[in-house]
């Protein structure tokens, strides 16, 4: 069967739902298509099931993009306070956990229900379990705008496993590649290619890092151990928990730095941030405590025992030469290790890279050269740091396109 709508949105995740409700509330007729049987799976599993839906402190610096200023406009027009107000108006309680991160008090399902209800109230037509087979552009020129500059003509025909849709605007909100079992596909990138839009190289972000098995052998037994550390790469540093895994490192500090890390390059880790091990050695120069016990006062003893053998026998502190003590302190505050890779898209929270923002309008998310075609959310080359920033980008970019399409 054939249908006509003002707007088709492909992908009913965070960005797609926000775009749909925004556009439909403006009186546009909207159809929302998703190939999954369940929509917004990533909202459901996010934040340990409680969705870290935004952050109180959102700045452009919290986002990674080849074009760092691109996100500014959309983020300024749909702020964390807008989303907080939406939750408050609908009686969804939330709390700040740490570092400005806001979570639902009960479950992320509350946010999914709210977005679905808002879409329903605004008459968004939803098609789930709907495979998109073909997108056919009809009029690819600006001349299809009317005198008021509105996109009111049929521009795209979308053939799906269910019906065929004729629309004037098409919004791609199919997200990134991470966690394929949630319904992630490369669809959005393929559509960008179909329309000759450039793509910034894709790579997994917010992802655990791995090390060569022979290099990691001394630490593999520490799996599950975690403690605060400061992890640095280039100009970026994050002080947060470091978690040992069988294959390498994870925890918030590592997830954060993973989005900046470049293959083949070392990370520097301060294992005892805020303290000076050298000063502690000087203070306790005559200590007869075994070195593992001495360091074990400040760090988990299991870690000290696994880490110290690189310096030789585990002697009492007073038997180490000043040079060796200096080397231990230096290495503890600047542990340089080179990951061999990441745990990939099956474990990554996000995909870095995506549709090149230089091809999009920062105000509307519309492709500069293809009137009526919009890209929003994670499929775009804008990636947030850990802490609610990725959902804030999904809401803000979804809102921007919803106001324009």
CB nearest ligand FDA: which residue? Answer: 13
Task: By CB under 6 A, tell whether 365 contacts ligand FDA.
Answer: no
Q: How far is residue 293's CA from residue 283's CA, in Å, rounded to a whole number? A: 16
Task: By CB under 6 A, tell whether 185 contacts ligand FDA.
Answer: yes
Task: Show Cβ contacts of residue 114 under 8 Å, excluding neighbours closer than 6 positions.
Answer: 86, 87, 90, 92
Task: By CB under 6 A, tell whether 240 contacts ligand FDA.
Answer: no
Task: By CB under 6 A, tell whether 14 contacts ligand FDA.
Answer: yes
State which residue, 303 or 375, has the beta carbon closest to ligand FDA. Answer: 375
Task: By CB under 6 A, tell whether 158 contacts ligand FDA.
Answer: no
With CB under 6 A as the contact rule, which of the stretches 173-181, 266-274, 288-296, 316-324 interacts with ligand FDA?
173-181
Q: Helices 80-89 and 389-404 sit at what angle, rounded to 10 degrees?
A: 90
With CB under 6 A as the contact rule, which of the stretches 45-53, 80-88, 150-158, 330-338 interacts with ligand FDA?
45-53
Task: By CB under 6 A, tell whether 251 contacts ligand FDA.
Answer: no
Q: How far is residue 57's CA from residue 55's CA, in Å, rounded to a whole number? A: 5
Task: By CB under 6 A, tell whether 377 contacts ligand FDA.
Answer: yes
Q: Identify the CA nearest to 256 among candidates 398, 68, 99, 79.
A: 99
State which residue, 42 or 333, has the beta carbon closest to ligand FDA. Answer: 42
State which residue, 70 or 320, has the beta carbon closest to ligand FDA. Answer: 70
Q: How far is residue 29's CA from residue 96's CA, in Å, rounded to a whole number? A: 36
Interface residue with ligand FDA, options 104, 179, 243, 269 (CB under 6 A): 179
Q: How far is the CB of 182 from ligand FDA (least distance, A)?
A: 7
State which residue, 299 or 348, has the beta carbon closest to ligand FDA. Answer: 348
Nearest-5° angle of CA 287, CA 289, CA 290?
130
Interface residue with ligand FDA, options 173, 249, 277, 373 (CB under 6 A): 173
Q: How far is the CB of 279 from ligand FDA (least distance, A)?
A: 39
Q: How far is the CB of 312 from ligand FDA (least distance, A)?
A: 42
Task: By CB under 6 A, tell whether 10 contacts ligand FDA.
Answer: yes
Total residues at interface with ligand FDA (CB under 6 A): 38
State which residue, 304 or 394, has the beta carbon closest to ligand FDA. Answer: 394
Q: Identify the CA nearest to 209 among candidates 199, 200, 201, 219.
A: 219
Q: How far is residue 390's CA from residue 71's CA, in Å, rounded to a whole number? A: 12
- Measured in residues, the chain has a length of 405
Q: How far is the CB of 25 from ligand FDA (least distance, A)?
A: 18
Interface residue with ligand FDA, options 350, 359, 400, 405 (CB under 6 A): 350
Q: How far is residue 11's CA from residue 194's CA, in Å, rounded to a whole number? A: 17
Task: By CB under 6 A, tell whether 16 contacts ligand FDA.
Answer: yes
**What mask of x and - would describe binding to ligand FDA in positions 272 to 311, judged by CB under 6 A?**
----------------------------------------
Task: By CB under 6 A, tell whether 47 contacts ligand FDA.
Answer: yes
Task: By CB under 6 A, tell whether 12 contacts ligand FDA.
Answer: yes
Task: By CB under 6 A, tell whether 250 contacts ligand FDA.
Answer: no
Q: Binders of ligand FDA among 24-43, rule CB under 6 A?
A: 33-36, 39-40, 42
Q: How far is the CB of 283 from ligand FDA (least distance, A)?
A: 42
Interface residue with ligand FDA, options 70, 391, 395, 399 (CB under 6 A): 391
Contacting positions for ligand FDA (CB under 6 A)? 10-16, 33-36, 39-40, 42, 45-47, 51-52, 132, 173-175, 178-179, 183-185, 187, 349-350, 377-378, 388-391, 394
């Amino acid at each position: 069967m054939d249908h006509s709508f003002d707007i088709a949105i492909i992908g009913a995740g965070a960005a797609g739902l926000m775009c749909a409700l925004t556009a439909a509330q403006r009186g546009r007729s909207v159809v929302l298509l998703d190939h999954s049987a369940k929509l917004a799976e990533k909202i459901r599993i996010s934040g340990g099931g409680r969705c870290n839906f935004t952050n109180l402190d959102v700045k452009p610096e919290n986002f990674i993009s080849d074009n760092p200023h691109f996100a500014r406009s959309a983020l300024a027009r749909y702020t964390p306070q807008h989303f907080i107000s939406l939750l408050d108006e609908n009686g969804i309680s939330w709390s700040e956990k740490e570092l400005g991160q806001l979570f639902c008090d009960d479950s992320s399902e509350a946010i999914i229900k709210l977005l679905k209800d808002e879409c329903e109230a605004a008459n968004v037509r939803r098609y789930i379990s709907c495979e998109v087979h073909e997108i056919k552009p009809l009029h690819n020129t600006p001349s299809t705008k009317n005198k008021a500059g509105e996109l009111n003509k049929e521009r795209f025909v979308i053939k799906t496993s269910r019906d065929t849709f004729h629309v004037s605007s098409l919004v791609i909100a199919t997200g990134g590649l991470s966690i394929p079992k949630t319904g992630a596909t490369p669809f959005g990138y393929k559509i960008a290619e179909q329309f000759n839009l450039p793509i910034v190289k894709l790579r997994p972000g917010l992802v655990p890092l791995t090390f060569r098995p022979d290099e990691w052998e001394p630490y593999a037994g520490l799996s599950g151990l975690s403690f605060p550390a400061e992890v640095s790469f280039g100009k970026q540093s994050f002080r947060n928990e470091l978690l040992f895994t069988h294959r390498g490192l994870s925890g918030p500090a590592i997830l954060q730095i993973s989005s900046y890390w470049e293959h083949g390059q070392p990370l520097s880790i301060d294992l005892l941030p805020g303290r000076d091990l050298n000063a502690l050695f000087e203070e306790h120069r005559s200590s007869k405590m075994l070195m593992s016990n001495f360091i074990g006062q400040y760090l988990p003893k299991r870690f000290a025992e696994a880490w110290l053998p690189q310096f030789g026998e585990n002697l009492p502190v007073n038997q180490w030469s000043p040079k060796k003590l200096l080397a231990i302190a230096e290495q503890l505050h600047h542990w340089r290790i080179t990951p061999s890779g990441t745990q990939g898209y099956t474990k990554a929270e996000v995909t870095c890279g995506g549709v090149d923002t230089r091809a999009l309008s920062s105000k509307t998310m519309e492709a500069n050269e293809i009137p009526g075609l919009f890209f929003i959310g994670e499929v775009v080359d804008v990636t947030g740091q850990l802490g609610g920033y990725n959902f804030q980008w999904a809401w803000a970019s979804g809102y921007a396109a919803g106001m324009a399409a």
